[in-house]
Amino acid sequence: MVKQIAAAGVMLVSLSAPVYAYEEIAVSDGGTITGTVKLEGAVPKPKGYNLTTLPDPFYCGRISDGQGWRILQPFNVGPAGEFREVVVYLEGVEKGKPFEDGGVPQIEAKDCLFLPFTTVVRDDQSVTVVNMDPVMHDIQAYETSHLGARVLFNVPLPMNPQHPRNFKDRSDAAMYHRHMAGAPMKQLVNLSKGRRIFVMQCGFHAYMESWGVAVMNPYFAKTDEQGRFTITDVPPGTYKLVVWHPYVRTPVEQTVTVGPKSTVEAKVVVPAPTGRLYANEVLDHDYVRYNVTEEAKKEIEPMIHKQER
C-alpha cells in the first residue's frame, strides 16, 4: 500500500505552491465562483480486496460483491459524469476572508469504511478519527510525495466498549447494525515543507482509505452529488483554480478572473485516467490464485449492500 501511496503522490510536484502567510481581512466587494466538475471518459476500475485474507470477514463482509471480495471505488461519478467529492481550491489568494471556525475535521470508521473519502485541512491542524464499528481499526497516516511516503501518525482506533467484542458467526455479525463512537483520536497533521497531501488507511482492513489535502487559504469547496461547487467572498483578482482528486495525477487547473461582486461560472472537465492505477485493481475474472472456495463465499454473504465490480 505504501508504494501505491507514493505513486499517487507523484502529482505533489504540481500541488506545491509558494509559501506565504495568508492575511485575514474584511472582504466587502468579493465575488463568487460557481461551477461543475465532470469526468470525461470511462470511469477507472475499482480496487478489490479478498475478504478471506483480512480480519473481520463476518462484519466487514456485510458489504461485498457476493464472491468474497470487498470493492473500493475511489471515483465517485454520476450517470452524466458528475465528479463528486473532489476538492476545488484557489491558489494565489494572499489575503481575504477568515477561515471558518468549523472545528476539527472528523473522519469516521463506519461499516469498515473511512468517511469521508476526501478531507480538506489546514497544515498544522488536527483531525479527529472515531471508530463507529464493533471491530478494531488501526490508523496509519502518511504524507505523500514524489520522494516517497513519510509516516504522520500510527495509532490504534479503539471501539466503543458497549459493542459486542467477538462475533461467533456470520449471522451474529449480519444482524448487528449499531454504530457507537469509540474514544476519539485527535491527531496533528504536520506536513513537510511544500507537501500538501496525506492519506490514511487501516492497518487491519486495507480497503479502508481516506485522503486529505492541506489548503493555504479558505477558498475551497468539495463537489456535491451534481458535481457542483461554490466558492464565495473571493477578493477581485486573477487566480489559479485547482481541481484535486488523489488518483488524478495530471494537474487539472484553469485561470479565473473575479470582478467586484461578480459571479464567475467555471466548467471543469477532468480526463479520466487510463491504464492500471493500482496494483489491486479489480479484474474481469475472479482472482483464482487465492483459491476462494464456494464454501468461503457463502460465509461472506453481503447483508447490507451487494457491490458491483
The three three-digit cell numbers of residue 281, written as one number: 485493481
DSSP 91: E
DSSP 179: -
Question: 214 - beta bridge partners?
Answer: 121
The residues, any chain, with a CB within 8 Å of residue 290's CB and separated by 6 or more, are 50, 52, 53
Residue 163 CB-density burial (10 A; 0-12 exposed, 13-18 middle, 19+ buried): middle
C-beta separation of 159 from 56 below 8 A: no
CA dihedral for 220, 87, 127, 6, sign (positive or negative): negative
Integer Cα distance of 51 and 36 in angstroms: 37
Q: Is 128 domain-assigned?
A: yes
DSSP 296: H
**Do 185 and 232 have their domain in common?**
no
Q: Is 302 domain-assigned?
A: no
**Do 130 and 278 have their domain in common?**
no
DSSP 53: G
Number of domains in the chain: 2
- Give the number of other Cβ atoms within 10 Å of residue 87's Cβ: 22
pLDDT, residue 308, reads 85
pLDDT, residue 208, reads 97
pLDDT, residue 17, reads 46
> pTM for this one?
0.88
- Give whole-number Cα distances, 26 to 30, 99, 115, 237, in Å: 10, 12, 34, 16
User: 183 lies in which domain range?
Assistant: 99-163+177-217
- Cell 488501526, residue? 138
**Do 141 and 79 have their domain in common?**
no
Phi-psi region of 249 (alpha: psi -120 to 50; beta: other; left: phi over 0): alpha
Q: Residues in the chain with pLDDT < 50?
A: 2-3, 5-7, 9-18
The three three-digit cell numbers of residue 150, written as one number: 513519510
**Do 148 and 186 have their domain in common?**
yes
**Do 203 and 257 have their domain in common?**
no
Q: Cα 94 to the chain's mean position, in Å? A: 27
- Give the number of other Cβ atoms within 10 Å of residue 296's Cβ: 16
Q: Is 49 domain-assigned?
A: yes
Q: Is 65 domain-assigned?
A: yes
Integer Cα distance of 198 and 180 in angstroms: 27
Question: 202 - beta bridge partners?
Answer: 139
Integer Cα distance of 219 and 231 in angstroms: 6
CATH of the domain at 198: 2.60.40.420
DSSP 11: G
pLDDT, residue 292, reads 64
